[in-house]
Amino acid sequence: ILKNGHNLLMSLVGDSLLEPFWPTGSGCARGFLSAFDTAWMIRSWALGKTPLQALAERESIYTILSQTTPNYLNKNHNMFSID
């Protein structure tokens, strides 16, 4: 989006991205993961990627969001950071 000559970044986050299956609790988990994915996209853009490059990376991450299960996620959370 271009507003007053500046590029603006807009992204959907939360469980609204994918229809959650509430009995499994996947909506809450995927909601947090999508927020982290968007934070990563903002970071990538701030570090010099073009808006199209940042969006392409975000879209590739989005395609695997629906595949997340407790067995698929890494349990060692201390190894990961957005910075």
DSSP sequence for 11-50? ---STTSS---GGGTHHHHHHHHHHHHHHHHHHHHHTT--
Mean pLDDT to the nearest integer, 28-49 = 88
Query: Model's pTM, two decimal places?
Result: 0.72
Share of the chain above pLDDT 90, in %: 20
pLDDT of residue 22: 63
Amino acid at 44: S
| pLDDT over 90 (residue 49) | yes
Q: Within a 10 A sphere around the Cβ of 27, how many other Cβ atoms?
A: 17
Mean pLDDT to the nearest integer, 48-71 = 85
